[in-house]
Amino acid sequence: MAETKGVMVVAEIVEGKLAAITTELLGAARKLAGDLNQEVIAVVIGSGVGEVAKEAIAFGADKVYVIDAPLFKDYTNDAYTNALQKLNEKVHPEIILMGQTFIGLDLAPRLAFRLGTAVTLDCIGLAIDPQTKLLQKTKPVYGGNAVAIYVSETRPQMATVRAKTMEPLAADSSRKGEIIHFDPQIDASSVRQKVIKRVKEEVTGIKLEDASVIVCGGRGIGGPEGFEQLRELAKLLGGALGASRPPCDSGWVPTSIQIGLTGKMVAPKVYIGIALSGSSQHQAGMSGSKNIIAINKDPEANIFGIAHYGVVGDYKKVVPAFMAKCKELLAK
């Protein structure tokens, strides 16, 4: 068996730039590689993506393999799996990281099977065991009520990582690295999928994952009318509206704004949780917020356990008073 070395990050590209999850993975890979005294390897796949390699180096990669051909313009499982399998037969990385995204969830298990290894999905923590030097992969289990640490003795050690759980490094355009163009020589006839249409999610206002302020409502809001008031508050603060699972399941708001284990992961500067209990499943999606403000009439609500600031009271009285004060301050 060939010697394995290096921490590999399979990059995702959005509108010609590295996706945020990829910059987060490069930051995590940089730390893991430092603990192993190895290098960070990025893989950039697509068509006309050569310039992205420089961005990967700026965010922490030591070496970037560029797989650039019209065949890879759109993601397909066959093309990407075949290309990465060929690359791994040459490079033999110790660790492979991908994002917990639609692409990562589709690609990682197939690639792991091809390479004869295991993959741990939806990780929220990565570390190197100082004794064994194995990758410790932390992930939620039992519906988010507990976390477990997984290790694998097969190589490469693989994981997909949840967005907003790792810190990216600040981009350094002066960093030097090696860019290698790799041709996997994939036969186009072996690619069985074809992208026939792209549908882009319509986002009005600030995208939830990018918002620095999030106003999130729970079951206690009582209905869609209450969320209109929260939407107004979010707009006033220059933020985005979110919701816990029950309002989404009830059809009060779209599932696209659901925050939690089965929704989106967010880490805003300010998170305001209103009339929500703060279940462990919901906390899994927002516990990385820098400042958490809770408003709930139940003083025993779980959300107060992680809140930096809390208000015990009926949101129907608290929110209007809060909005009036915000408007007063903004008018000055």
Residue ending a domain, choose from 190, 220, 241: 190
Q: Mind listing the pLDDT tens digit for each residue in 142-155? A: 766 678 999 999 99
Q: Do residues 181 and 56 both lie within one domain?
A: yes
DSSP 112-128: HHHHT--EEEEESEEEE
**Per-residue pLDDT tens for 57-113?**
999 999 999 999 999 999 999 999 999 999 999 999 999 999 998 899 999 999 999
Amino acid 330: pLDDT: 85
The structural domain count of the chain equals 2
Give yes or no: residues 32 and 174 share one domain.
Answer: yes
Q: What is the DSSP letter of 2?
A: P
- Residue 197 located in a structural domain: no
pLDDT confidence band for 202 (50 / 70 / 90): low
Task: Look at residue 195 and tell me if it is in a domain.
Answer: no
CATH of the domain at 20: 3.40.50.620
- Do the Cβ atoms of 242 and 259 come closer than 8 Å? yes
Residue at 14 is within a domain: yes
Residue 307 lies in a domain: yes
Give yes or no: residues 245 and 271 share one domain: yes
Give Rg (Cα) of the chain. 22
Task: For residues 163 and 234, state if they share a domain.
Answer: no
Residues of the domain holding 306: 208-331
Give yes or no: residues 177 and 290 share one domain. Answer: no
Query: Which of the 8 DSSP states describes residue 192?
Result: -
Bridging pattern class, strands 135-141 and 125-128? antiparallel
Cis-peptide, bond into residue 156, ω within 30° of zero:
yes
Q: Within a domain: residue 196?
A: no
Helix (H, G, I), strand (E, B) or coil at 182: coil
- The whole-model pTM stands at 0.78
Banded pLDDT at 47 (limits 50, 70, 90): very high
Assess whether 226 and 85 both reside in one domain. Answer: no
C-alpha of 280 from chain center: 18
Backbone dihedral angles phi then psi of residue 300, each to the nearest 5 degrees:
-95, 5
CATH label of the domain that carries residue 245: 3.40.50.1220
